Amino acid sequence: MSPMPLTFPDFDETELGRLRRCLESRWVTQGPLTREFEELVAKRHGLSHALATTSCTAALHLAVLALELGPGDEVVVPAFTWVTSAHCAEYVGARAVFADVDPTTHNLAPEAFEAAITPRTRAVVAVHLFGLAAEMDAILAIAQRRSLAVIEDAACAIGSSYQGRPVGGLGDVGCFSFHPRKIITTGEGGMVTTDREDLAERVRSLRNHGASPPGPAQGPPGKPYTMAAFDRLGFNLRMSDIQAAVGVAQMSKLDRLLTHRRACAALYGHHLSSLEEFDLPPQPEEAPGHTYQSYVIRLRTGNRAERNRIMEHLSDQGIETRPGTHAVHRLGYYVQKYQLKSEQFPNAVRSEDATITLPLFPGMREADQERVVTALRDSLTTRSG
């Protein structure tokens, strides 16, 4: 039986045509296609500003820089997420302070967020994990009450919404990913989104070496000898027009891809509902804003060895799976720096130990999903035997 991948990008002549036009134009970086891609993302999420970057990691780094976080500051981060949700605070000399997640959604638990706040807290990273928006009303209320900035890590959440409102503009700044495992991709790439003009101006400068419009010392505007001013330390974190060409093509497919993923999620829910050993993601009718960037189930026993045995069984059947993501506080850097213990964040530990990401890819058929479900059932029978 042929191998079944976890996911893969949806590429066709649409991307090739855009790439061809980009290369023929000979304008391949920070040009018209980058602007078009930014405008499409901004419009889709109802935002004033979308600024393309080299990755979501870069977007998160730029977000904390634009918010002027630094040494002595603390940033609350969910303990179950990809590492750069926490790393972005550490990049600027701030401290990532972990808070546990909700055991059902895997997203930041608002009560744990509030309990993690100290006099040094200046921001929170609200992660919309696997395409499901965090509990933003509660998180925003706490942040407003405590005068904290809200960074939305929307790496998994292109097209996601919370109570009918697109993510990425609910807090102060949003960060998106276009990695190949995401619903749309530019190979690598990211985006910073915001409705705040001050943050947009800083990100625009910081991603481009710290450049800003020329002042009197650089010469009058429009002259061939006039150069940009550099009044802040910046980086080269710009997306190329080659990547943006792919992004523009991918955005034209977003609605179709989201519709298909939600249909697959509904079918998985139907087929898996009889397997009492697993907790499932919410069904599309229960969470209409969920985009199912990943379809992640959890073994109810929480037993890591049993979860691993099930994943090995699926691998033997040619079916690729992955754990959900990391309990970041268990990773070496954070354990060594802050002497963190696994038991401090039990829900994050359970989520790491017991989750399985199932295949969900463009063009997935019902027969493909039935093959996955059959393999899961067989893995449970094998255990019983």
Catalytic (active-site) positions: 182
Distances in Å between the alpha carbon of 224 and those of 19, 210, 216, 218, 228?
30, 21, 15, 11, 12
CB atoms under 10 Å from CB of 121, counted, come to 21
Going 160 to 165 to 166 to 170, the CA torsion angle's sign is negative
Say which residue the tokens 């087929």 belong to.
Answer: 271
* Residues 351, 34: Cα–Cα separation, whole Å: 37
Choose among 375, 377, 378, 268: nearest CA to 4.
Answer: 375
307 residue type, one letter: R
Residue 145 CB-density burial (10 A; 0-12 exposed, 13-18 middle, 19+ buried): exposed
Find the helix packing angle between 254-272 and 366-384, rounded to 10°. Answer: 30
Distances in Å between the alpha carbon of 139 and those of 118, 125, 144, 292?
16, 10, 9, 22
Q: Which residues partner with 177 through β-bridges?
A: 190
Say which residue the tokens 């990547």 belong to.
Answer: 243
The tokens of 131 are what? 């395409």
Q: Is 129 helix (H, G, I), strand (E, B) or coil?
A: helix
* Residues 307, 354: Cα–Cα separation, whole Å: 6
Q: Is 270 helix (H, G, I), strand (E, B) or coil?
A: helix
* Residues 80, 327: Cα–Cα separation, whole Å: 4
Instruction: Output DSSP code: residue 236.
Output: B
Q: What are phi and psi of 210, to 5 degrees?
A: 90, 15
Q: Report which secondary-structure segment, H or E, holds 76.
A: strand 74-78
Strand order from edge to edge, sheet including 355-358: 278-279, 295-299, 355-358
* Residues 169, 241: Cα–Cα separation, whole Å: 24
